[in-house]
Structure formats: C-alpha cells, structure tokens
Amino acid sequence: MSYNIRLLIDCPDRKGLIAAISSFIAMHNGNILSADQYVSDSGRFFMRLVIEGEGFGLRKEEFGAAFTPLARQYSMNWQIYYTDQPKRVAILVSKQDHCLVDLLWRWDAGELPAEIPLVISNHTNAASRVEAYGIPFYHLPVTKETREEQEDKILELLDKYSIDLVVLARYMQILTPKVVNAYRQRMINIHHSFLPAFVGANPYHQAHARGVKIIGATAHYVTEELDAGPIINQDIAHVSHRDTVQDMIRIGREVERRVLARAVRWHLEDRVLVDGNRTVVFE
C-alpha cells in the first residue's frame, strides 16, 4: 500500500539545518512532497517534511537508527508518522452532541484520516448515533464522589484501545492532572468562546451579559490550567442585540463544529507542533 512519511522536527536554529536534513533524505533516495519550516522569535527551528514512502531507502524499522546521529548533532526533538498507520482517536462527549455528530460525519466522509475505536460519554443520549457508525459507545457516568474512579475507567479504556488522540467534543467535566498528563499534547478540547475571553462555565451567558458583538470558539490542547493550553484554532461569528443567549448557543454550535474539526484534522495530519504555550500550525 502506498503511503507517505511525515517527519516533525524542532531544535535550536543553526545554519545548515535544512541542508543537513534534506540531504539526509536525498541520500536515502527520498522524494520530499512538501516541506514547511519556521523559526520562532526565540530562535527555535520547527520543520514538517512529507516524504513519499515509495522509493524511500529507509524501512520503518531502520529510520530511527539512521536518523539518530543527525538528530543528536543538532539536539533535535523529532517524531515520525506513517500515513498508513492512522492515529487512533477517542471522542469524549457529554449531552451536547453537535461536535460529536459533526466529527463522525466528517470521519465517515473521509475528511479525518483516523480510526475511531470508541466514544465515551457521561450521558447516554448519543449512544445510538455513535453505534450507527459501528463504533463502540461507553457510558461512564460521573459524580463528584466517583470522579477518580470514572477517570480510571477512562484511562483504562484509552489504554486498552491504544488511543493516540483524545478529543473532548464538548465533554463538560474537568479532568484531573492524572489524565491531562497522560495525554499531554494529545488531548484537544473545544471551548465555546474566543479565549482568553470567557474562561470557564457558560461563556455564551457571559458573552450576552457583556454585550459583545462577536462570539467564538477555541480548540486547544488541554493543560492543567483550565482553558489555558496552547491554542490550535479559533474562529468567530458576528452577533447582534437581537441574538438571545439561545441564539448565541445555536450560532456558536456552528463555530465550535468548524473550529474543532479543523484542529483535529490538523493534528491528525501532523501539522501542529507545540512551542511553549503557543502552537506552530503548518496548514
């Protein structure tokens, strides 16, 4: 089966980096399909290379040994992904299912290169929608008292299904550091405001009370601090005095769906690198 290779690199910027990397690829007869590069203000170099699998001289199991000396020389962090090994995604959701339904439809339509082995919810309402796609649905209800226990079950499932990416598709529970740390930079949340405005609960109510003329949504990696992780994507919609909180919720659903789907697709295509609390997105 034909596939491509995606190589992500970040390291201190130095002269000759691109030459060194691209020569390494050329030496092994690799055909570079696309190359993106960025140097941050603080002098850190980020790169994303897509190499054609066919004809590339290094087998999957050989790449690491061959690339390590170069990586060491330049103090690189690097990751390699193969498009014939799509990421395995778990979606967590609560009652609001618009993001879930949207992701499932896009996945089914081929927009999201992933496997979705399971959906987890603390409610039951989305069960039939999920199962219609042939995806196992796990109902893990939660109360203040059972939080830890429920999270352990979640972690167990994520582990059992070898999950690469956790998508919080309007999952309205705050996760403890235990879970957050286990999926650092591998857990995407959609927050229904243009962060950093309206952190926390009921952002549309907050927005309406403040009388804003735009509402928005933010997809970000989850960190310990609530709604403060690296932002991947944001967008907004215009509202007017006529829009009630209910209208904002309706309008916002559309923005949330779009923003989350884009962030998830970018992550699945290995387009997102993290630079401290900022993201580098090679669109």
Shortest distance (Å) from residue 41 CB to a second copy: 6
Q: Taking a C-beta distance cutoff of 8 angstroms, is the pair 237, 252 a contact?
A: yes
Task: Please count the other Cβ atoms lying within 10 Å of the Cβ belonging to residue 186.
Answer: 17
In which residue are the tokens 């993001």 written? 99
Residues of the shown chain interacting with a second copy in the complex, contacts defined by CB under 8 A: 15-20, 22-23, 25-27, 29-41, 98, 101, 105, 109, 111, 128, 132, 194-198, 210-214, 216, 230-236, 238, 240-242, 244, 250, 253-254, 258, 275-281, 283
H/E stretch holding 233 reads strand 231-238
Q: Taking a C-beta distance cutoff of 8 angstroms, is the pair 119, 100 a contact?
A: yes
Q: Which of 102, 227, 243, 270 is catalytic?
A: 227
In angstroms, the CA 177 to CA 231 distance is 19
Shortest distance (Å) from residue 156 CB to a second copy: 31
The b-or-e profile of 89-107 (16+ CB within 10 A means b, else e) is bbbbbbebbbbbbbbbebb
CB nearer to a second copy: pick between 151 and 227: 227
Shortest distance (Å) from residue 252 CB to a second copy: 12
CB nearer to a second copy: pick between 98 and 267: 98
Shortest distance (Å) from residue 167 CB to a second copy: 18
User: Cα-flanking dihedrals φ and ψ of residue 147, to 5°?
Assistant: -55, -55
H/E stretch holding 15 reads none
Shortest distance (Å) from residue 198 CB to a second copy: 7
CB nearer to a second copy: pick between 151 and 269: 269
Of 225, 236, 232, nearest to 270 by C-alpha is 232
In angstroms, the CA 143 to CA 148 distance is 9
The three-class DSSP label of residue 118 is strand
227 catalytic? Reply is: yes
Q: Which residues are catalytic?
A: 227
